[in-house]
Amino acid sequence: MKNSYLDIKDEVAKALKDGQPVIALESTIISHGMPYPENVETALKVEQIARDAGVIPATIAIIGGRLKAGLSAEEIEYFGKKGTAIHKASRRDLPYLVSGGLDGATTVASTMIIAGMAGIPIFATGGIGGVHRGAENSFDISADLQELAQTNVAVVCAGAKSILDLGLTLEYLETHGIPVLGYKTEELPAFYTQKSGFKVDFAMESPGQIASLLKAKWDMNLKGGAVIANPIPDEYSMDPDEINTVIEQALNDMDKEGIKGKESTPYLLARIAELSGGNSLHSNVELVFNNVRLASRISREYCS
């Protein structure tokens, strides 16, 4: 049954009706991920990469209290210009934004929710959230993980963001029965780098193999999504020692400034970009492009 709060863009609705491949994309990367106009240029290029692969892109957002599955170029421009003035929206924020007729930039969790409502099973992003370092004291665990446990959308990413406690993040995913699939890798990528020292659950060698696993999972009514970990291309991977030093400095700076909760990730990514001289932002953009290419191939296989 169509959700009365949801607007599906015409080309997205037609593709879904015709059984054609569609991938979901988040909007937080537009409003909170980078400055204008780079944010808009990146969002439009991401959509074009999907189209070039024969897949319809559906950028997810909330505009004027309406849940949107698919944005126009004008709406993407609007999000890019407003930037961080737009609410960063996770699951808990959706009722507030919808009832108040407000705008929201969707995180991984809320993008999954709206994609699930629209019937879009594949979603490409940069990296998922997870268990934050020091969570044994702060209890800071991303809502992305809980959403992966209950919403039937697979997330193609470059692993979990390396600002997190990757070991505890994998433990949480295992507890909730969320498979972590490594695309042509047995090791969990760590966002900016290809290696983390942690193993994925299953190494997958092709988009078709991934699509078959997803179909089997959902055909058996095994609730929840999957993490499809796609390592950043080698030419854009950062030196592990260098980026880990930068991350530690950014974490220390965040603690000194008392930044917590949903503001922590945007702060850390911006601070890391500053400390790395912009290198991390360039890597971030390239890994998103790489994930969209893989998600498009998986979506085509899943539809076939």
Candidates 161, 217, 262, 301; catalytic one:
161
Residue 26 annotated to the active site: yes
Nearest Cα to 210, choosing from 129, 302, 140, 148? 302
Residue 187 annotated to the active site: no
The DSSP symbol for 132 reads B
Integer Cα distance of 185 and 200 in angstroms: 8
Q: Report residue 270: phi and psi, to 5°.
A: -70, -40
Q: What angle do CA 256, 259, 261 make, to 5 degrees?
A: 145
Q: Residue 31 has which token pair? A: 């409003």
Candidates 9, 26, 68, 88; catalytic one:
26
Element (H, E) at 15: helix 10-17
Integer Cα distance of 245 and 299 in angstroms: 37
Q: Residue 44 has which token pair? A: 């439009």
Kindly list the catalytic residues.
Answer: 26, 161
